[in-house]
Amino acid sequence: HLKDHTLRTVFDFPVGAAVVKELLDDPVYAATLKRDFGRLSSEGNFKWGSLQPEEGKFTFEKADAIVKFAQENNMQVHGHTLLWAHDGNEPKWIKEYQGDKQDWERLMKKHITTVLKHFKGRVQSWDVVNEGIKQGGKYVNSIWYRKLGPDYILKAFKYAHEADPNVKLFLNDYGQEYGGKKVKLILDIVDQAREQGIPIHGIGFQLHTVLRMEPWKINDNLKIFADKRLLIHISEFDVSVRYQMPKIFPLSDALARAQGDKIKQIVRGYMENVPKKQQWGITTWGVSDKTSYFNKGYENADHDYPLLFDKNYKAKWAYRGFIEAG
Ligand code: XIL
């Protein structure tokens, strides 16, 4: 009896959603979260530009509002993200920052320490580095990489652990489901961290994926990380129908059902390939197709329909597929 169940009641792991602070004021959005989601992440409110928009000036209001909403509704919080290694995502002042290697390291340490201490006991897990590795198995040539070298990743984890030893620390990235050199480098980094006694507790698979994705590929790569005894968080889950040709407006019933089936297979694959104790959970990147980040800002481009709820917050087949996996 699906009617009696929600995403919060059928899984042993939390099902999360990435939220946007302003949207919490929308009663339908808030009600959907309360009913179905046991963990919140955030699309942008925990990023550097939001928490430290100017050097030394920390602004926690929006992130705190999200944490408060979570606490009031008995939800966990996943922090996203301490460092975003892709260039262009740091606030302008960082790009213009002048300093030697020590200054850069101090800057990084101060941000990580201040943020983790602020949220101590209220945020259970963090993405420490986001998108630091390229698909071809090289480090992204980000500002952190240029200023501090490849070690910046391990240093960031070290500082985070020192600031709050109880928080679970994740290396978050995209495309691990395709395997190859990226996966190999991530595993190497995990090994290096272990040799140095620095905890990388888990791996975040963003898994912004598409309808034509073959679940076995995801499963094989989940298993590689699971065998490494890492926690595994599917951290930004959505399944876009975008590359389905011809494009269909609005979403046809057939595609909507296919999306539901695909989601069911993916969630099952997670449950079957990751041992229970390592299942940190699955977080969808948003709540409804209305505000999915894929659609934002692109006129006539809403052909992704990537999430579990439609524009009116009605549960789609995608939702049904997800819950049926449980
Ligand atoms: C995106 C947010 O969804 C947008 O609102 C923001 O403008 C840009 O960032 N991978 C990530 C996320 O790790 O941080 C990105 O979030 C989406 C892709």
User: Which ligand 1 atom sits closest to the C-alpha of 285?
Assistant: 3
- The residue among 86, 205, 187, 182 whose CA lies nearest residue 136 is 182
pLDDT attached to residue 301: 53
Checking 180-188 for CB contacts under 8 A at 24+ apart, the result is: 180/135, 180/137, 181/135, 181/136, 181/137, 182/133, 182/134, 182/135, 182/136, 182/137, 183/221, 183/224, 183/225, 184/137, 185/133, 185/137, 185/138, 185/139, 186/133, 187/224, 187/225, 187/228
pLDDT at 299: 47
Residue 236 among the catalytic residues: yes
Cα radius of gyration rounded to whole Å, the chain: 19
So what's the pLDDT on residue 2?
A: 59
| Site residues for ligand 1, CB cut-off 6 Å | 43-44, 130-131, 206, 236, 293
Active site residue 54: no
Q: In angstroms, what is the span from residue 44 Cα to ligand 1's centroid?
A: 7
pLDDT at 296 (0 to 100): 60
Residue by residue, pLDDT tens for the chain (326 residues) are 557 799 999 999 999 999 999 999 999 999 999 999 999 999 999 999 999 999 999 999 999 999 999 999 999 999 999 999 776 678 889 989 999 999 999 999 999 999 999 999 999 999 999 999 999 999 999 999 999 999 999 999 999 999 999 999 999 999 999 999 999 999 999 999 999 999 999 999 999 999 999 999 999 999 999 999 999 999 999 999 876 655 656 788 999 999 999 999 999 999 999 999 999 999 999 999 988 988 764 444 567 899 999 989 999 999 999 999 99
CA of 43 to the centre of ligand 1 (A): 6
Strand partners, 39: 16, 76
pLDDT at 249: 65
40 touches 77 (CB < 8 A): yes
Most informative mutation of 293, 296, 298, 304 for ligand 1 (most atoms within 8 A of CB): 293
174 CA: nearest ligand 1 atom:
10
Gap from CA of 237 to ligand 1 centroid (Å): 12
**Active-site position among 236, 272, 299, 324:** 236
First and final C-alpha spacing in the chain? 12
pLDDT for the residue numbered 297: 46
Write the CA distances from 69 to 23, 25, 152, 187, integer angstroms. Answer: 12, 11, 33, 36
Host domain of residue 74: 2-324
Compute the distance between CA of residue 326 and CA of residue 321 in angstroms, rounded to an integer: 9
- Point out the catalytic residue in the list 43, 90, 105, 131: 131
Tell how far the Cα of 171 is from the centroid of ligand 1, in angstroms.
Answer: 16
Whether the full predicted model's pTM is greater than 0.80, yes or no, is: yes
Overall domain count for the chain: 1
Interaxial angle between packed helices 215-227 and 253-273, expressed in degrees from 0 to 180 and rounded to the nearest 10: 20
Cα(156) to centroid(ligand 1), Å: 20
What was the pLDDT predicted at 250? 74
Residue 303: per-residue pLDDT: 72
Ligand 1 pocket test, pick from 83, 236, 294, 298 with the greatest ligand atom count within 8 Å of Cβ, gives: 236
